[in-house]
Amino acid sequence: MQKIGEECGVFGIWSPVRAKLAYEAYYALFALQHRGQESAGIAINDDGVFHYYRDLGLVHEVFDKEKLDALGEGRIAVGHVRYSTSGNSNRANAQPIVVKHIKGSMALAHNGNLVNSYELRTQLENDGCIFHSTTDTEVISYLITRARLKTGSIEEAVNQTMDKLHGAFSLVIMSPTKLIACRDEHGFRPLCYGTRKDGSVVFTSETCALDAVGATLVRELDPGEIMVCDQNGVRSIRDHCGKVKPSLCVFEYIYFARPDSVINGASVHEARKRAGAFLALEHPVQADVVIGVPDSGLDAALGYSQQSGIPYGIGLLKNKYIGRTFISPGQANREDLVKIKLNPISETIRGKRVVLIDDSIVRGTTSKRIVSLVRDAGAKEVHFRVSAPPFMNPCYYGTDIDSRENLIACHHSVDEICQIIGADSLGYLSVENALKLAGGNETQGGFCAACFDGKYPTEIPTGGKDRFEERIPTEWLEKHTKKSRTADQS
């Protein structure tokens, strides 16, 4: 079974004095590790000279004290943890991407997925650009670099480039003298801004990373906003704000974000408890104990318990030294990981009717295994509840769901899925209530729930997750060539 692949995590810090910012980035990336466990990287700016290191692995596997010290001191740093939603998992695709050009170096870290990267990359390749990775992040770096050669400032280059980018992108960009953060006009992915008492300015994906470096949240970047930080302070460019309805990915609240983070003014922990409470109202059941599947099912289980009055219990123990199941390539490896990742606590389960809450069902294999674990531990009944609606559609904005083929809800009814996973009953959160998880406290409003309801805020892209590794489809190439000829003739 494939658990949902997460987003990436980005971080940037500007300091008023030279410091060992690699350590600050290291702490922040540790806090963001849940957003990407395939690769990690840090780039340091020392008066325009960039030192960087990136590799495959977890943060603590990629960096040790020697590597951090080798990055030296600087006044600006950017960092990134990656899960591959576009482009394969290899060292060439690790971020931040560092570009050296006539206007000076640039480092870029990206969270999200473009829906028009296929077209943009083909146009750039036709113009002679050579790519070293298979990520849409490198496409963005080329576009910014090209615009930089024609404009007077890096922020204006970013502003012009945003006109060409469609889809999800939260970016942190480091130039020789500036730290820039920007968010796509839909606001698909979170990006926040904070400050420290020493005058440092921090941009990052989640507030938990602000906490890790001692920064205080100032606010979220608005969808479409560009923020620039340099020796003159922090300023905002809002040319792209307010053009479309905001569409924050609702799965940030359900699964992606850490429960101690705050997104758009709403606590992730409280949002997940609210999901559990909605589940209790939508799918009540007579039971003796409510347990959650670690980690993101725990908060929802607590909410279900509080709403229903059924006691909450710790019924599954997670091996904290095992990464999330989607990390391992290949179905057999994923199933092996499930066997050692979770262990039931029989005293909580034996002889009881159990409400078992998880954040999602994708293919159903892991859910079946977990239900079996709980039954083997002595449960009389297992009532499975899901704190998300059924996945019915691919996601094109960064989540690793690029086909309906492997989505169990696309091929089976709820009753059939219940039978497949071996539960006594099954209930999903409704789309209507999923859109209420922020509890009305969100400051910008509006969610993307296209993976549940099929209502995409943008056009959908050509190709899938690995489209840059695949051969260009003949029909697309013919269509694109015809368009190019028409443009040349005009």
The 3-state DSSP class for residue 414 equals helix
How far is the CA of 48 from the CAs of 10, 77, 175, in angstroms?
A: 21, 11, 8
Please name the helix (run of DSSP H) or strand (run of DSSP E) that holds residue 489, with its range, or none. Answer: helix 474-489
Phi/psi at 85 (nearest 5 deg)? -105, -15
Tokens of 314: 């710790």
Rounding to the nearest 10 degrees, give the CA dihedral for residues 17, 18, 21, 24.
Answer: -30
Name, in order, each residue with C-beta under 8 angstroms of 154's C-beta and a sequence gap of 6 or more.
Answer: 103, 106, 144, 148, 173, 175, 178, 180
Residue of 8, 192, 249, 448 marked catalytic: 8
Looking at the DSSP bridge assignments, the partners of residue 426 are 384
Report yes or no: 399 and 7 within 8 Å, Cβ to Cβ. Answer: yes
According to DSSP, the residues that pair with 289 across neighbouring strands are 354
Tell me, yes or no, if 8 is annotated catalytic. yes
Scanning the structure block, which residue is given the tokens 């698909």?
188
Burial of 474 (0-12, 13-18, 19+ CB in 10 A): exposed
C-alpha 202/C-alpha 426 separation (Å) is: 43
Nearest to 186 by CA among 240, 140, 237: 240
The string of DSSP codes covering 324-388 is -GGGSSSHHHHHHHHHHHEEE-HHHHTTSEEEEEES--SSSHHHHHHHHHHHHTT-SEEEEEESS
Give the contacts of 477 (CB within 8 A, at least 6 positions apart): none
| Helical pair 268-282 and 296-308, crossing angle rounded to 10 deg | 50
Peptide bond into 311 cis (omega under 30): no
DSSP 285: -
Element holding 266 (H helix, E strand): strand 266-267
- Residues 248 and 445: their CA atoms lie apart, in Å, by 8
SS3 (DSSP) at 274: helix
Report, as residue numbers or ranges, the catalytic residues: 8
